[in-house]
Structure 1
């Protein structure tokens, strides 16, 4: 079956190359009928995948990443907190190193047109491990709050993401650099708050990683939970994209993460901390999360991906002795 090509505006031609990436996927089991009803509000082309007993999955995918654009326009720094018009034909000026924080709220689903290939009977653990070899199951992006206006523009225009510009994210998450001195254990919890949109107010407490208004916050520490290696690439993302004579149509894209994931199954060992707080922002994502995750069912699994560093600079030493 032939498909019309999706036009891509030059000079930004996919793939988009991430220079670094740290990401967390936290999975919650939700009644399949609720998921399908929520999906139908945006698209009738997808169905939530039933992992058994009438339950499907949503996931919160927090990510912080950087890309090297090869261009640096001082105007980008001046505009950094301005709202972005994702429908504009003029793309925002570029930062030389594009630092982005975003958080997808996804429903794990499949395109109805590919139902004959769907691996029905797949367990949650198999899905987390990357054993959907058909790659028909993917994440439908119900909403993608993001604090980088360039990522908002390109994501909405070229990948069909339901993306919205927010105030800066607040977070304290594990990285190699987030380690106290004297050999103490570093940050183990993924603690982050997704703020309201740039059209809302913004009062923040950087010491507590909180703000008002906000969409939601999550404090997840699963360092006590046994882990296992995962091969989840390609990560399949689903969206709706308008363009051409065909109008709005369902699209998919693939993210290849060059390395192994770390998986956590909370069925036997729940996470040490798993506190999800749904916020007070006026953005529709808050209503969607209240519908699907209130009362909070608690996470059933998680995945983590940390890209490897490319350079390490050791501590300085005295050379005059």
Structure 2
């Protein structure tokens, strides 16, 4: 049987090229049973991967990205809540890995991918693209953030506040003050390891129940921070403000209260130009 490719509806065009990407992900190893139940509801043809002590891996990642189009440019922010999973029919092809090996890119089959449970995004066009192209469970929200930046104070602390939103007339984002969740990652002073984990396979299940896989290439390594030691347990904090919201309920179901993160990973696009400090020129006649 010849496989067919999913359609690319107008006005979208693939691949989608990122002009710049700034991203942080936080990982937790958790009890696999709640993960399996939630995964079966949304992605019945995926199986949750297991790592140390048979635990499943859950990840939250925030992205800020820029894209250049024929008509100009646009920025997008989003948060993904994911389970690391693989297609059930392909389970016999997978290597047995620890969490550290997985996050540093040892799975060259790229079958270990992110099964998206919830995606919150501040760009209505990107929400539509995620749903129609990749079967992402994508919903509106908006963000207030503090990020490491060459244009800001020295440091490696990330803070992300995600708040509720709706899509109004003419595909405009209508922001609401209701907070959904807060994320903090204090990575200052830690040594990172280069993680060659791309391409990252993202899984979705469309309304007809078909399983989709969409790879994302990132052209430089990620930076991975090992947080498994107890001395790092306070470096990341996750606060759910809307526990009855579907995203909040899913997070609390899988993470419970106070589960420590085992790792964090970041990516920040390198600058392409710098406008330097000005200097004074002498004026008037030469002496």
Q: Work out whether the TM-score is over 0.5.
A: yes
Structure 1: how far apart are the matches of 2:6 and 2:221?
Answer: 30
Aligned to 1:195: 163
| 1:34 partnered with 2:34 | yes
Shift of 1:299: 0.6
- The residue that corresponds to 2:171 in the other structure is none
Compute the displacement of 1:98 (Å): 1.3
What residue is the counterpart of 1:148 in the other structure?
123
Structure 1 equivalent of residue 214 of structure 2: 253
Q: 1:290 aligns with which of 249, 252, 260?
A: 252
Deviation at 1:53, TM superposition (A): 1.3
Residue 282 of structure 1: CA displacement? 5.2
| Separation (CA, whole Å) in 2 of partners of 1:317 and 1:41 | 62
From 251, 265, 277, give the equivalent of 1:315. Answer: 277
Report the Cα distance in structure 1 between the residues aligned to 2:233 and 2:54, rounded to whole angstroms: 24
Matches within 5 A, 1:151-190: 151-166=126-141, 168-179=142-153, 186-190=154-158
Q: Structure 1: how far apart are the matches of 2:124 and 2:282?
A: 48
**4+ aligned runs moved over 3 Å, structure 1:** none
State the distance in 2 between where 1:10 and 1:133 align: 33
User: How many pairs align?
Assistant: 276
The one of 94, 113, 128 aligned to 2:103? 128
**Structure 1, unaligned runs of 5 or more:** 72-95, 180-185, 204-212
Distance 1:175 1:3 in 2: 44
For residues 214 and 35 of structure 2, the distance between their equivalents in structure 1, rounded to whole angstroms, comes to: 21
Deviation at 1:280, TM superposition (A): 1.7
**Contact 1:225 1:270 (8 Å CA) reproduced:** no
Distance 1:271 1:178 in 2: 26
Counterpart Cα distance in 1 of 2:130 and 2:281: 49
Deviations 1:118-170 (A, max 9, x none): 22x2000001111111111000010100011111111111111110011x301
Using a 3 Å threshold, how does the CA distance of structure 1 residues 283 and 2 change in structure 2: closer, same or farther? farther
Match 2:185 to one of 210, 220, 223: 220
- TM-score for the superposition, normalised by structure 1: 0.82
Q: Is the contact made by 2:224 and 2:266 (CA closer than 8 Å) also made in structure 1?
A: yes
Q: What secondary structure sits across from 2:63 in the alignment?
A: strand
1:240 shift after superposition: 1.0
Q: TM-score, normalised by structure 2?
A: 0.91
Report the alpha carbon displacement of residue 281 of structure 1 after superposing the two structures with TM.
Answer: 6.7
Equivalent position SS for 2:52: coil
SS in 2 for 1:105: strand
- Taking structure 1 as reference, are residues 134 and 201 closer, same or farther at Cα in structure 2, changes over 3 Å only? closer
- Relative distance call for 1:67 and 1:271 in structure 2 (3 A) is farther
TM alignment of 1:60-75, pairs within 5 A: 60-71=60-71
